[in-house]
Amino acid sequence: MSIVPLYRQDSRHPQAQACSSCAVRSHALFGVLDEDDLDRIHTHIAHVDLPLGKVLFETGEVGSAVFTLREGIVRFERVTESGERRIVRLAGRGDLLGQEALLRRPHLDEAIACSPVQLCRIPTHVVDELGALQPALVRELMQRWQQALEDSQSWLADLTCGSARRRVLKLLTKLADLGDQAGTGSAVWLPKREEIGAMLSMTIETASRQVSQLRREGVITAIGLRSVTLDAPALAQALREEHNR
Amino acid sequence: MSIVPLYRQDSRHPQAQACSSCAVRSHALFGVLDEDDLDRIHTHIAHVDLPLGKVLFETGEVGSAVFTLREGIVRFERVTESGERRIVRLAGRGDLLGQEALLRRPHLDEAIACSPVQLCRIPTHVVDELGALQPALVRELMQRWQQALEDSQSWLADLTCGSARRRVLKLLTKLADLGDQAGTGSAVWLPKREEIGAMLSMTIETASRQVSQLRREGVITAIGLRSVTLDAPALAQALREEHNR
DNA sequence: CGAGCCGTTGAGGGGATTCAAGCTCAGTGG
DNA sequence: CCACTGAGCTTGAATCCCCTCAACGGCTCG
């Protein structure tokens, strides 16, 4: 994991990047801050690069920072008492990661990069201090919390019931949304079969069978080892048929 | 739904009850406030009584208040695109309901009383105004949000995977926790089979079979139409056996 | 080249759903 | 008083979907 501080003004620094021109800032946590605010904090914010598969934080750790996801996809995993790994959330561009650190609570799950990932690391004390000055930031934080809650509940409602086929179809629509956010065009990241299993609570064999079947039907087309294009109308149609069965 | 304002000081009022002596205040949202703060707001807070089955708020509404649950159990339901009802959360004593109203966002799900319920209705503007004066309240709010998120995710991780038997056992442990909070002694509220189905994503027949089986095994004992006692050690043992199968 | 990881496919069995029937119990009205 | 009704619960039998176990192919990498 490489960490590079972001200096807004010191142009001599080879990695110099301005928070103010950050591509995701407008829809990220600090979108509500003005230039003055940014000037006060930019030296505390670090850019983080994470290769595929690397862990951002572990279950049980009490973090000292939160992260804004600038690029890539991060999954949140936990191990149930029965010993199985489950993926309880996916985060995409602009999402805030590890907010429990702001409350000094330990992370409940492990955050792992599903693709090469770029994030901004924001120390909790920066958020604390700025929150005291800027009520808008506090409100934005609440919005983020609510967003995470809504994501979690819609995940629950959408991805955990129905046939294996329906769940896979639903997952594909969610992945397509994440892809749109990321602006990867029509290419959609397709998780490993084991990951699909951990998300949808099915075996890797079932996941494989469903994916293969959808490929045969032309709903998805492989364009790389872990990437597909998908036929949105066909997908919607397949879902509709699945409903009235 | 009967609504009665809570006057702290006007002892002439027959329903007079003091927020300051509220049984759940210490672990509810306003536990962080001092007497002065309470004096400022108590006239805005109303006591709400809700009979079993009544709806507290509907999907899509933008609420003008949040609620602290003083007594009883409330379930959050939503209808998935495929048309099935799913229960995505249960709230017990001390929980905060409808926080999305603070952000002027519509409720995502319907809140329904699973038992006779008592709550305090707190207008959003009261929270807004008080939050501006009392940073501790804001922090407490964030804690509540995080709590809701953690509940949702552990629900997801615990109740949506494994065999029907395991899911029912898990649900019983959660219900027992809710009961402990409520201080109903050893009696645990047992949902209708249809509700169990909506929580665990199974048919009412399967729910019924599992419950009957556990009753035959002596893990649970009916003590009323919708109430059981449960043998905690036997339950824990059953769960353990379920894991290493 | 073999080892290991990942994905695919088949065969068989088991658990959940589906369809169906009968049960208890509370409320209603003859 | 009791038949009638409907809602909720239970149980059985047949079906089907998913899991389990197993074998195999493609791929990367030492």
Among A1-15, B53-67, B108-122, name the one with the lowest average pLDDT. A1-15
The pLDDT of residue A144? 93
Residue of A nearest to B88 (CA): A153
- Using CB atoms, which residue from B84, B99, B108 is nearest to A153? B108
Question: Best of A130, A153, A154 to disrupt the B interface by mutation (most B CBs within 10 Å)?
Answer: A153
CA distance A45 to chain B (A): 23
Whether the pLDDT of residue B59 is over 90: the answer is: yes
Residue B99's pLDDT band (cuts 50, 70, 90): very high
Across the beta sheet with B85-91, the strand order is B55-57, B110-113, B74-79, B85-91
Q: What are phi and psi of A130, to 5 degrees?
A: -70, -35
The pLDDT of residue B91? 95
Structure tokens at B137: 């309240």
pLDDT in tens, A108-151: 999 999 999 999 999 999 999 988 888 889 999 999 999 999 99
Residue of B nearest to A245 (CA): B82
- Using CB atoms, which residue from A158, A201, A239 is nearest to B161? A201
The pLDDT of residue B39? 76
Question: Best of B103, B142, B201 to disrupt the A interface by mutation (most A CBs within 10 Å)?
Answer: B142
What mean pLDDT is predicted for residues A79-94?
91
DSSP string, chain B: -EEEE--SS-TTSTT---GGG-TTGGGSGGGG--HHHHHHHGGG-EEEEE-TT-EEE-TT---SEEEEEEES-EEEEEE-TTS-EEEEEEE-TT-EE-GGGGGTPPPSSEEEESS-EEEEEEEHHHHHHHHHH-HHHHHHHHHHHHHHHHHHHHHHHHHSSS-HHHHHHHHHHHHHHHHHHHT-TTEEE---HHHHHHHHT--HHHHHHHHHHHHHHTSEEEEETTEEEE-HHHHHHHHHHHHT-
The pLDDT of residue B16? 42
pLDDT in tens, A173-183: 999 998 777 66
- Using CB atoms, which residue from A78, A156, A242 is nearest to B155? A156
What mean pLDDT is predicted for residues B103-130?
94
Whether the pLDDT of residue B14 is over 90: the answer is: no
DSSP state of A106: P
Q: What global pTM score does this model have?
A: 0.91
Residue B7's pLDDT band (cuts 50, 70, 90): very low
The mean predicted confidence, pLDDT, of chain B is 88
> ∠ at Cα B209 (B208, B210), nearest 5°?
90
Structure tokens at A225: 């080892």
pLDDT in tens, A13-45: 433 455 776 767 777 888 888 877 777 787 888
What mean pLDDT is predicted for residues B2-24?
54
Whether the Cβ atoms of residue A167 and residue A79 lie closer than 8 Å to each other: no
Answer whether B89 sits within 8 Å of A153, measured CB to CB.
yes
Q: What percent of chain A has pLDDT over 70?
A: 89
> Can you tell me which residue has its alpha carbon closest to the C1' of nucleotide D21?
A205
Chain B interface residues (partner A, CB cutoff 8 A): 78, 80-84, 86, 88-89, 99-100, 102-103, 105, 108-109, 132, 135, 138-139, 141-143, 145-146, 148-150, 152-158, 160-162, 166, 201, 239, 242-243
Q: Which residues of B touch A84 (CB under 8 A)?
A: 161-162
What mean pLDDT is predicted for residues A90-118?
95
Whether the pLDDT of residue B13 is over 50: the answer is: no
The mean predicted confidence, pLDDT, of chain A is 88
